[in-house]
Amino acid sequence: MLFCSFWKSERKELDARLQGLAGSAILSTRKIDIPGYPKAFNPSLIPYQEGYLLSFRTRHRIQKGTLHARKKDVSFLGVVKLDRDFRVVEKSAQLLDVSSYAMHSSSTAEDGRLFKLGSRIFIFFNDFPLSNNKGYAPYFAELIEKEKRFLVKESAKQLNYAHAIPVEKNWSPFSSNDKLYLIYSDEPRVILEVDSDTGECSEVARYPTEWQWQWGEIRGGTPALQLDDALLTFFHSSIPSNLKKSRGGRLYVMGAYIFDAHFPFTPRKVTAVPLGEKEYYTKENRHNVVFPGGLAIEEHLIHVAWGKNNKQIHITTFNKAKLLHSLGLVK
* pLDDT for the residue 281: 80
Find out whether 134 and 93 touch, Cβ atoms under 8 Å: no
| 249: phi then psi, degrees, rounded to nearest 5 | 70, 30
- Phi/psi zone of residue 137: left (φ > 0), alpha (ψ -120 to 50 degrees), beta? beta
Domain regions of the chain by residue span:
12-329
Q: What is the pLDDT of residues 87-104, one digit of tens each?
A: 999 999 999 999 998 888
CATH 2.60.120.10 fits 12-329, yes or no: no
In the prediction, which pLDDT does 104 show?
86
Q: How far apart are CA 113 and CA 115, in angstroms?
A: 6
| pTM tops 0.85 | yes
| Residue 63: predicted pLDDT | 56
Three-state DSSP class for residue 104: coil
pLDDT of residue 44: 98
Which candidate, 192, 59, 51, 23, places its Cα nearest to that of 124? 192
Q: Are 227 and 209 in contact (CB under 8 A)?
A: no
* pLDDT, tens only, 139-177: 999 999 999 999 999 999 999 999 999 899 999 999 999
In the predicted model, residues of the chain with pLDDT beneath 50 are 1-7, 69
Cβ atoms 110, 135 nearer than 8 A? no
Paired sense of beta strands 149-152 and 157-158, if any: unpaired
Q: Say which amino acid occupies 110.
A: E
Q: Which pLDDT value is given to residue 202?
A: 97
The CB-side HSE value for 100 (13 A sphere, CA atoms) comes to 30
Q: What are phi and psi of 281, to 5 degrees?
A: -105, -30
Residues in the chain: 331
- Asked whether 113 and 122 are in contact (CB, 8 A), the reply is no
